[in-house]
Amino acid sequence: MELVARRAVQIDLALSTELTSVAHLFRRYRDRPISLADACLVRMTEIFDPSVVLTLDANFLIYRRFGRRTIPVLHPDSH
């Protein structure tokens, strides 16, 4: 919460207006479990550019934004 208070982390997604895009991500990754939180983060990287996702979730090394573009991540396995 401190990161949000300092505005180091931005959470600015109105799911009601992004529902179609988020639902598309669920369909796209139907063979890989994608949570609502993950789908929202992927969508936020499409809306807010540049952006970087800080995560321990290795799925973000597989998820793509705008169909084929990699998502910039800070992850222990990203070099």
Give per-residue pLDDT as tens, 14-59.
999 999 999 999 999 999 889 999 999 999 999 988 989 999 999 9
Read off the pLDDT of each residue in 52-77 and give the average, rounded to a whole number: 92
* Of 73, 58, 23, the residue nearest 43 (C-alpha): 23
Is the bond preceding 33 in cis, omega lying within 30 degrees of 0?
no
pLDDT at 79: 64
Angle at 29 between CA 24 and CA 34, to 5 degrees: 95
Alpha carbons 29 and 67: distance in angstroms, whole number: 11
- List Cβ neighbours of 74 (8 Å cut-off, separation of 6 or more): 52, 53, 54, 55
